[in-house]
A and B are shown apart, each in its own frame.
Chain A
Amino acid sequence: MRHRRIGLSIYAIILVCCFCGLVIALFSYQEPTGQLGAIYLSRAPSETGAANIVTAIYLNYRLYDTLFEILIFSVAVLGVRFYLSDYREKEIVEKIPESQIVRTSADLFFPPIFLIGIYLTLSGHLSPGGGFSGGVVAGTALLLCAVALGANTVGKRFYEPTLRWLEWGVLLVVLSLPLLPIVVGRLPFTGLLPPGTMGKVISGGSIPIYNLLIGIKVFIGTWVIIHYFMRHRGEV
């Protein structure tokens, strides 16, 4: 056991050195302010029509990466569901003792938080936000509800059984949407819609569509993870 620990710590030191070396290499071989970033900054507004350059990169230039990222997220959600369905389910989810403060604040805050999630999702091409963050915010709103009302009550209303179909349907749409432009006779991935004028609500080509779909996917995924953890741990 002792030898193993010494070996592991040497390994850790080498890893940290490699990390430092990589950083130094990044500094010395490429200008940290990056020419590639400058190219994106100058070309993205006219080519994609999105004011948020980060969104333009991950939903237009590097859409391929993002699609597989969504796939990884889906596989993780599937894994949580698969492994927890074998797990002994606690009989009753203990209800949190009725607290007027929690109940009232959940009633008060649920609609605005959910609305902020939708806003973040739909305005990802104009301002900070996007599908991932918006979906997580909306999922957190449901968590607040679950804390106030109990996981089972919210689970009955939100989860079974529609969301399951919606989740996989959205995944199918997200993964098949990049191929749709081929049917219309345009370039695949992002050629479906014209970029439009930068700064308008409807602009950015297909970026808002992807943002919306990713938002729904992440929202459902977050809720499934939270819900399964609550149901199988037996507490919030």
Chain B
Amino acid sequence: MLMIAGVIVAVILFGIGLLGMIFRRDLIIKLLSLGLVNGSVMLCLVSLGSRADGIAPIIRGPGNADYVNPLPQALVLSAIVINFAILALALVFVMLLVEHYHSTDSQRIEHEIKREREL
């Protein structure tokens, strides 16, 4: 049940993030949407590995407790770090664009670039 709910929420968030990336014109909001997409994928992976009454996969003693699947969590760890790296780098590019065009509006920036090329 927890798993299904997590996956459904993940798909909804994925859709919201994707639409945000496409339809919002502000570059910063596009980046936030990218973060949302990334978060939804992480949520999907972690909830796929979850199970009812499962506990964190840290072994405290002998005996078989109900541990959740540790493999998706290990993969998500890489995803978190790479998300951080991508966001930092993308923010730098946005800063450079803002410095040059004084706007975070993607259409306006494209328009300015087109005009510069014509000149």
Contacts and interface: CB of A to CB of B under 8 A. Distances in A.
Interface majority SS (helix, strand, loop, mixed), chain B? helix
A188 interface: no
A194 interface: no
A20 B89 CA distance: 29
A198 B23 CA distance: 52
B48 interface: yes
Given A52-B58, A58-B78, A132-B80, A79 B95 contact: no
Contact of A40 (B48, B71, B80): B71
Interface string B82-100: 1011101101110110010
A69 B78 contact: yes
B73 to A, nearest CB: 5
A34 B96 contact: no
B37 to A, nearest CB: 10
B108 to A, nearest CB: 13
Max chain B CB contacts within 10 Å: which of A5, A40, A77?
A40
Contacts of A54: 57, 70, 73-74, 77
Interface stretch (A81-89, A159-167, A173-181): A81-89
Given A26-B48, A79-B92, A88 B57 contact: no
B11 interface: yes
B113 interface: no
A76 B77 contact: no
Interface stretch (A11-19, A114-122, A148-156): A11-19
A73 B56 CA distance: 27
A97 interface: no
A76 B88 contact: yes
Contact of B81 (A20, A132, A225): A132
B71 A76 contact: no
26 contacts: A8-B22, A9-B19, A12-B22, A15-B18, A20-B11, A32-B48, A32-B69, A33-B69, A37-B70, A53-B58, A53-B59, A54-B57, A54-B70, A54-B74, A72-B81, A73-B85, A83-B92, A83-B96, A84-B92, A87-B96, A88-B99, A126-B58, A130-B77, A132-B77, A198-B59, A233-B95
